[in-house]
């Protein structure tokens, strides 16, 4: 197949693009490089440096050749920032996604896989299923939910087949490929920056949640398992018109537990500073991925927190400054 990948210079998008190429597909990466890295775009992929807000360029790119599917990763992702700058998230995540959906339908690219998020759900003490109550606690989650809802209408009106993958906390690394957000907001890479001596301490945002140790609990899913879920979803859209799946390990770890495991993996003392809660952070988000396991045969191959942290630590040690960009 010929796949159009937005955000293919980012963490998950570039890893998925690489896997698609290895599977024999053709890949075009469309990325503004505002937060992505040119060095992360896999060799063999065509690359278009452009922004989804540029509708003319986007439309021309999708019509330039016959594409079989769109995989949409491009987005602003930091939940805390979304509560300070909501307009940025509504523009980048909702308006730009609508631009892409419209352009895809116009070009008759009728398979669409969306990178969504567990942030569409309400916080829950029980593992979240696809039927759990929706109720984002931050603007980031709200924008992703609105894109999901738009896709449903485009399916009904135009026959657009779509797959939604609701990620839990993406983490870990692959050989030569890891997290390098600028600025970084994810817990594991921030912890590892402390271990590398690039930060003095890691902040724990909130220690008074209704959880066993008072800190937020999250489900950590290795990037390799997210990549395989995308491949399963892409294949399933050949015969299905609508897919909605949680993609997580099914295990929850608190912020304190992740820090403790990182200390063991890195053999570094990682000072932690307790800070007030961050607006928009739910107390607990843990997946039930039973549906995608049952229907598509997907299962996580890397669901051990020590293994996940070890892979991330190897990446950060070998790439202390992230990707070395070339101009």
Distance CA 176, CA 53 (A): 30
What per-residue confidence (pLDDT) applies to 327?
A: 39
As a whole number of angstroms, the distance between CA 289 and CA 222 comes to: 14
* Helix/strand/coil for 112: strand
Instruction: Print pLDDT tens along the chain (327 aa).
Output: 999 999 999 999 999 999 999 999 999 999 999 999 999 999 999 999 999 999 999 999 999 999 999 999 999 998 889 999 999 999 999 999 999 999 999 999 999 999 999 999 998 889 999 999 999 999 999 999 999 999 999 999 999 999 999 999 999 999 888 888 777 778 999 999 999 999 999 999 999 999 999 999 999 999 999 999 999 999 999 999 999 999 999 999 999 999 999 999 999 999 999 999 988 888 998 999 999 999 999 999 998 999 999 999 999 999 888 887 643
Residue 113 C-beta-side C-alpha neighbours within 13 Å: 30
The pLDDT value given to residue 281? 87
pLDDT of residue 325: 61
Do residues 153 and 242 share a domain? Answer: yes
Beta bridge partners of 273: 203
Catalytic position from the list 121, 140, 253, 323: 140
In whole angstroms, give the CA distance from residue 286 to residue 307. 19
What is the side-by-side order of every strand in the sheet holding 2-6?
46-49, 26-31, 2-6, 69-72, 111-117, 161-167, 242-247
For residue 177, being part of any structural domain is answered with no
Give the domain extent around 111: 2-171+220-247
Secondary structure of residue 296 in the 3-state scheme: helix
Output the pLDDT for position 70: 98
Cα–Cα distance list, 55 to 16, 58, 106, 314 (Å): 24, 5, 12, 40
Catalytic-residue membership of 154:
no
| Residue 323 pLDDT | 82
Strand, coil or helix: 17: helix
Residue 198, domain CATH: 3.90.25.10
The answer on 208 and 119 residing in a single domain is: no
Locate the DSSP E strands across 141-261: 161-167, 169-171, 202-205, 217-222, 242-247, 252-254
Shared domain for 206 and 263, answered yes or no, is yes
Asked whether residue 73 falls in the same domain as residue 122, the answer is yes
Q: Which residue pairs from 144-150 have beta carbons closer than 8 angstroms and sit at least 24 positions apart in sequence?
A: 144/75, 144/93, 144/116, 144/117, 144/119, 144/120, 145/116, 145/120, 146/94, 147/93, 147/94, 147/97, 147/98, 147/114, 147/116, 148/114, 148/116, 148/120, 148/244, 150/97, 150/98, 150/101
Instruction: Please count the structural domains in the chain.
Output: 2
The number of residues making up the chain comes to 327
Q: How far apart are CA 180 and CA 323, in angstroms?
A: 7
The CATH number of the domain holding residue 150 is 3.40.50.720
**Same domain for 140 and 75:** yes
Are 119 and 204 within one domain?
no
pLDDT at 326: 47
Same domain (yes/no): 234, 96: yes
What angle, rounded to 10 degrees, do the helices at 187-195 and 255-266 form?
40
């Amino acid at each position: 197949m010929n796949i159009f990948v937005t955000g293919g210079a980012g963490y998950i998008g570039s890893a998925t693009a690489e896997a698609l190429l290895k599977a024999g597909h053709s890949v075009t990466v469309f990325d503004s490089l505002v937060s992505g890295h040119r060095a992360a775009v896999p060799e063999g992929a065509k690359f278009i440096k452009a922004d989804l807000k540029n509708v003319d360029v986007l439309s021309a790119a999708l019509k330039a050749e016959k594409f079989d599917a769109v995989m949409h990763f491009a987005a602003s992702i930091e939940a805390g920032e979304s509560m300070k700058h909501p307009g940025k998230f509504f523009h980048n995540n909702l308006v730009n996604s609508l631009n892409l959906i419209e352009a895809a339908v116009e070009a008759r690219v009728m398979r669409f896989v969306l990178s969504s998020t567990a942030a569409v759900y309400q916080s829950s003490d029980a593992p979240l299923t696809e039927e759990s109550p929706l109720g984002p606690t931050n603007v980031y989650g709200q924008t992703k939910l609105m894109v999901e809802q738009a896709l449903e209408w485009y399916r009904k009106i135009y026959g657009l087949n779509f797959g939604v993958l609701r990620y839990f906390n993406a983490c870990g690394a692959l050989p030569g490929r890891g997290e390098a957000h600028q600025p970084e907001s994810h817990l594991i890479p921030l912890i590892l920056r402390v271990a590398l001596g690039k930060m003095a301490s890691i902040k724990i945002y909130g220690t008074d949640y209704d959880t066993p140790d008072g800190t937020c609990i999250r489900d950590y899913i290795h990037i390799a398992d997210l990549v395989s879920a995308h491949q399963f979803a892409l294949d399933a859209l050949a015969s299905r018109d609508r897919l909605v799946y949680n993609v997580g390990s099914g295990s929850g770890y608190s912020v304190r537990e992740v820090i403790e495991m990182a200390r063991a993996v890195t053999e570094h003392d990682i000072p932690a500073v307790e800070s007030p809660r961050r607006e928009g952070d739910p107390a607990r988000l843990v997946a039930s991925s039973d549906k995608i396991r049952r229907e598509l045969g997907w299962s996580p191959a890397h669901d051990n927190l020590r293994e996940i942290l070890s892979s991330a630590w190897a990446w950060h040690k070998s790439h202390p400054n992230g990707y070395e960009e070339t101009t």
